[in-house]
Amino acid sequence: MTESSRTNETLKVEKKWTVSNILSLSRIFFLVPIVILILKPGNEYRLTVLVLMLVAASTDFLDGLLARVLNQVTDFGRLLDPVTDKICLISISAALVIVKDVPLWYAALVALRDILIVVGSSFIISRRKVVVQSVWAGKWTVTFIAAYLILATMRIDALAEIKMFFLYLSTLSLFGSLAVYTWIYRKYMAANG
């Protein structure tokens, strides 16, 4: 391994407050009103919740795009983006469980997968000082989960079949992406062991 490639793989967190990282962090600010409004009784605030969720989801697309376009890809961003995704998905899932729009087993699976990925990533960072980039299986899983949560939030009977489709698709994707991350982490540790 050359010195330049070793430098590229070493954990770097010097550039923290880039435009893309601020966008990632903004999802946490959207999360507070989303959860509060989900927990309010009735359907009066559901349209507002839907709009806030869609805006928050758009920041997830934009942060990665801007990081690449503006050449602001950082290890801090690689950590921040998936962590904010996980905080948002777990929190919104839990709120929807409380109001009985999402089954408890589903929210538990989302939380368990995310916790296992964070533990695995933390292990790689502590042992190898490297941030493993998010994989496409994980990004698709986040998209499928978000689609299911948005449909659950809408409470529209005509969309019940589509909602069930995303429930099953995201559940399969949860297991599939966890398997991919496990394989990548094991392969990385073996290759650098």
Does the pLDDT value for residue 192 go beyond 60?
Answer: no
Confidence of residue 3 (pLDDT cuts 50, 70, 90): very low
182-186 long-range contacts, Cβ below 8 Å, gap at least 24? 182/120, 184/132, 184/135, 185/120, 185/121, 185/123, 185/124, 185/132
Confidence of residue 102 (pLDDT cuts 50, 70, 90): very high
Q: Which pLDDT does position 6 carry in this prediction? A: 40
Does the pLDDT value for residue 183 go beyond 50?
Answer: yes
Q: What is the pLDDT of residues 40-85, one digit of tens each?
A: 998 899 999 999 999 998 888 888 777 778 887 877 778 888 889 9
**Rg, C-alpha atoms of the chain:** 18
- The label of the residue with tokens 């890809």 reads 73
The DSSP element (H or E) to which 39 belongs, if any, is: helix 19-39
> How far, in whole angstroms, is CA 74 from its chain's centroid?
17
* Nearest alpha-carbon partner for 81 in 36, 39, 24: 24
Q: What is the pLDDT of residues 104-161, one digit of tens each?
A: 999 999 999 999 998 988 888 778 777 777 788 988 999 999 999 999 999 999 999 9
- CATH number for the domain harbouring residue 89: 1.20.120
Q: Which pLDDT does position 191 carry in this prediction? A: 67
Give the whole-angstrom CA distance, residue 157 versus residue 27.
28
Structural domain span for residue 169 = 3-191
Give the whole-angstrom CA distance, residue 150 versus residue 58.
13
Q: The tokens of 80 are what?
A: 């921040």
Confidence of residue 1 (pLDDT cuts 50, 70, 90): very low
State whether the Cα torsion 48-51-53-55 is positive or negative.
Answer: negative
| Structural contact between residues 134 and 82, judged by C-beta atoms closer than 8 angstroms | yes
Q: How many domains does the chain have?
A: 1
| Structural contact between residues 86 and 118, judged by C-beta atoms closer than 8 angstroms | yes
